[in-house]
Amino acid sequence: MSLLFIVAAFIAVAGAAGVVLAKSPVHSVLALVVNFIALAVLFLSLQAEFMAVIQLIIYAGAVMVLFLFVIALLTARKELPTSPQKWLKNQEVLGAALGLGLMAVLGTVALAGRGAAAEVPADFGSVVAFGRSLLTTNVFVFELTAFVLLVAVIGVVILVGRREA
Amino acid sequence: MTAAPIAAYILVSAVLFAIGGIGVLVRRSPLAMLMSVEVMWNAANLAFVAFARQHGSLDGHIFAFLVITVAAAEVAIGLAIIVLIFRKRATVDVDDIRALRG
């Protein structure tokens, strides 16, 4: 197990914990960016070059800019105001206990894995190999992504684009 | 040869998924919940890419690509809904959003 993996995995987990623990939404977004960059490094170590690049461009770039714009639009205050009334007592404790239980179960399953990495050609995960797979065997996925993005654009325009009714 | 056994990547993926799940369950700001969901999407992506490397097949990359697209669409629509709710009321708390409750 190389130092690269240990450092990247630690940073990814720390970033995810920062997203959950940070009080201010801006700090959450910054922790999420750290998490995404560490994941891109992990993708690179798995020879998934194209996935690492689009992880950086789409997530660390576009999605995070979207989050930051909405936070800037909604509030200049430190924390978004939440309702003082709670509908479920001890919600934090219950949620954390359930999540830690899920972590224990999933971790046990993950550690039971015995598979070894296959021998792959040198261009595995490169843009050329990925593009050839996407545009020949899996061309339906390509069409589907176009449709999903179209639905998202139309949905956002219908939701917030109209004048106040 | 990868930098670590595939099982180690899956373990990191499991831990990230559980942390994201804790965020969804514990936080009450819809923005923080949306970001925790993003962490969960990415944990699933890491598992897809790790298994794709294990089996030497690009299909896992293709599916991770689809997941990234769906996540981007989900963020755009989710943030639009949050902006709409914030226009209507002063607080943004998932406990207050009960208009669809029967």
pLDDT digits (tens, 9 = 90+) for A109-140: 888 877 777 777 878 888 999 999 999 999 99
Residue of B nearest to A71 (CA): B31
Check residues B1 and A106 and name the one with the higher pLDDT. A106
SS3 A79: coil
Query: Residue A106 pLDDT > 80, yes or no?
Result: yes
Contacting residues of A for B58, CB less than 8 Å apart: 124-125, 129-130, 133
Q: What is the pLDDT of residue B97?
A: 73
Q: How distant is the Cα of B16 from the closest Cα of chain A, in angstroms?
A: 6
B50/A120 CB distance under 8 A: no
Q: Of the candidates B13, B34, B68, which has its C-beta nearest A58's C-beta? A: B68
Look over chain A and give the mean of its residue pLDDT values, rounded to a whole number: 86
Query: Residue A165 pLDDT > 60, yes or no?
Result: no
Residue of A nearest to B51 (CA): A117
Which candidate, B46, B61, B48, places its Cα nearest to that of A42?
Answer: B46
Check residues B89 and A57 and name the one with the higher pLDDT. A57
Residue of A nearest to B93 (CA): A82
Contacting residues of A for B23, CB less than 8 Å apart: 16, 19-20
pLDDT tens track, chain B, 102 positions: 677 888 899 999 999 999 999 999 988 888 889 999 999 999 999 999 999 998 888 999 999 999 999 999 999 999 988 888 877 776 667 777 777 776
Q: What is the pLDDT of residue B56?
A: 87
Given pLDDT bands bounded at 50, 70 and 90, which one contains residue A163? low
A25/B32 CB distance under 8 A: yes
B80/A160 CB distance under 8 A: yes
Domain boundaries, chain B: 7-96
Contacting residues of A for B80, CB less than 8 Å apart: 155-156, 159-160
Residue of A nearest to B86 (CA): A74
CATH class of B7-96: mainly alpha
Query: Residue A23 pLDDT > 60, yes or no?
Result: yes
Instruction: List Cβ neighbours of A100 (8 Å cut-off, separation of 6 or more).
Output: B18, B22
| Dist. CA B87–CA A79, nearest whole Å | 17
| Dist. CA A65–CA A72, nearest whole Å | 10
pLDDT digits (tens, 9 = 90+) for A68-86: 888 888 765 555 556 666 6
Residue reference for tokens 């902006």: B83
Q: What is the pLDDT of residue B72?
A: 92
Which candidate, B13, B4, B22, places its Cα nearest to that of B60?
Answer: B13
Q: How distant is the Cα of A50 from the closest Cα of chain B, in angstroms?
A: 9
Contacting residues of A for B49, CB less than 8 Å apart: 43, 46, 48, 51
Contacting residues of B for A99, CB less than 8 Å apart: 18-19, 21-22, 25-26
Q: What is the pLDDT of residue B22?
A: 93
Given pLDDT bands bounded at 50, 70 and 90, which one contains residue A36? very high
Query: Residue A44 pLDDT > 60, yes or no?
Result: yes
| Dist. CA A138–CA B52, nearest whole Å | 15
